[in-house]
Amino acid sequence: MAWDNEPRLFVTPAPPLVLSHVCRHWMNVALCTPQLWTSLEIILPLEIRFPAEFRRLTSALGRWFSRSGSLPLTLSFVPWSWSTFVRGYYRKDPARTTIDDDVRPEAVPIAFQTLLRTLLKFSPRLKVLKLNALEPVYVQEVFQNLSPGDLPTLQTAVVKGCRQPQLPFLMAGNLRVVTLSPPSLASANSIFWEGIEQLELMSSRGCTDTHHRCPICFPSSAVPLHLGRLERLSVGHRWLPVDAYKNCFRNWVLPNLRSLEYKAPDWWDEGETPHIMPLLLSASALTTLVLSVGHIAADALLETLSAARELDDLTIQFQCTEPPVPDDFLAPLTPSTTHGIHRTVLCPRLRNFSFLNVLISDEAVLDFILARTDPEPWSPDQCVRKLESVKVRFPRAQEVDLVALLDERIAHGLDVQFIYGFWNPSVDANR
């Protein structure tokens, strides 16, 4: 089913096809197992010749999904860009000055719509739809024809790369998980916000556009947006003015938000209110917070954690190692006693803590871990949960053997990981 330089279903052979080629008995078993045929990834590479390849692909799609019985389906779809094809075609052979006669750009929309008509036969069972729509207008037009009624069981939608097309299927009543890149897609579409449980926005500028330009989701700056079922929110962007955050987040109501991930190159300096404060103040049920920012000043961290006191899991990652943080940077999280008075510690329920790419002394980290894993209660008035796991990445060479100094705590179940050296995001992501 996968042909070189032709429309294909997979980058690598799928398990059902592998099983089908072992022997006749295995092939019969595979063909009679509907669960094997419920997931499909369609790849349309750069070089496409018409019309034979599309007829073969369309027929293969119908046969594939017809073997899935009545089970829910997952479809990942990556359409092809004609302009990208032309660039790639000439790049492979610079001597070419014309495109072969059997490659006809005017045939692309017709063939593409034929393919989509086949998929629509199975759309009532689609549970997951991942669409990476590129530049051609006809690609967007095809998906504009998908209505909420065509996708009654759709629960997850991933839409990337579209330039604000109208996508009515985002109003599907069972939709729970949405990823938009850019999130300005939301400003061009009605979305069934009341049902969304997980939301990923890849550009806060687009999120701000949503706030100003979507009359259904944001009728006015004074009207709150209730996202009562939203449990996971991920926001990422590059550079954006501070005011954009206030306009974007100040009216969101997130009573059941459990997990917030925020990735941006922001610098939260002394005296500056962190940009995500409106979200934290609205998310009273938040238990997981991931901050990946340029740098955080000590008082900004204090203000942030003061608004997220019930955290179980906290990750702080700096994108810039300079300047180093002071030794008392973790003081708000560290139990201590001054003149016989117990200081209230922030995030008393914290179980898992990650501190990545932060230039801080070994002594400060050691004091923090010892205080948060002390076997004896430090205060009779406040219950502070013991840390269960700690991960620290130091952007420098190792100076102290912290593992040896924590051997007693490790023996009692503490999970520690200390990483030294220059920061490599892919290393942290795979650990």
Number of domains in the chain: 1
Q: Mean pLDDT, the chain, as a whole number?
A: 74
Minimum mean pLDDT among 5-19, 144-158, 380-394, 404-418: which range? 5-19
Most confident of 49-53, 126-130, 142-146, 262-266: 126-130
Dihedral pair phi/psi, residue 50, rounded to 5°: -120, 160
398 pLDDT tier (thresholds 50, 70, 90): very high
- The answer as to whether 426 is a domain residue is yes
Q: Is 332 among the domain residues?
A: yes
Choice between 155 and 213, residue whose per-residue pLDDT is larger: 155
Please indicate, yes or no, if residue 81 is contained in any of the structural domains. no
- Could you tell me the pLDDT band of residue 14, with boundaries at 50, 70 and 90? low
Look at residue 269 and give its three-state secondary structure.
coil
| Residue 59 pLDDT class (50, 70, 90 cuts) | confident
- Computed from CA positions of residues 151, 155, 161, 167, in that sequence, does the dihedral angle turn out positive or negative? positive
Domain assignment of residue 232, yes or no? no
What is the pLDDT, as a whole number, of residue 223? 66
Distance CA 336, CA 333 (A): 10
Q: Tell me what pLDDT residue 225 has.
A: 76
Instruction: Name the least confident of 185-194, 334-343, 389-398.
Output: 334-343
pLDDT for position 411: 94
Whether 35 has a pLDDT exceeding 50, the answer reads: yes
Please count the residues of the chain.
431
Residue 251 lies in a domain: no
The answer to the question of residue 398 being in a domain is: yes
Q: Is the pLDDT of residue 132 over 80?
A: no
Q: Is residue 113 part of a domain?
A: no
Q: Rounded to whole angstroms, how far apart are CA atoms 5 and 1? A: 12
Q: What is the pLDDT of residue 391?
A: 97
- How much is the pTM? 0.72
Residue 378 has pLDDT above 60, yes or no: no
Q: Where are the beta strands (DSSP E) in 240-365?
A: 252-253, 259-263, 267-268, 288-293, 295-296, 313-318, 337-338, 341-342, 352-356
Instruction: Indicate whether 407 belongs to any domain.
Output: yes
Per-residue pLDDT for 289 more than 70? Answer: yes
Supply the range of the domain harboring residue 385: 312-431
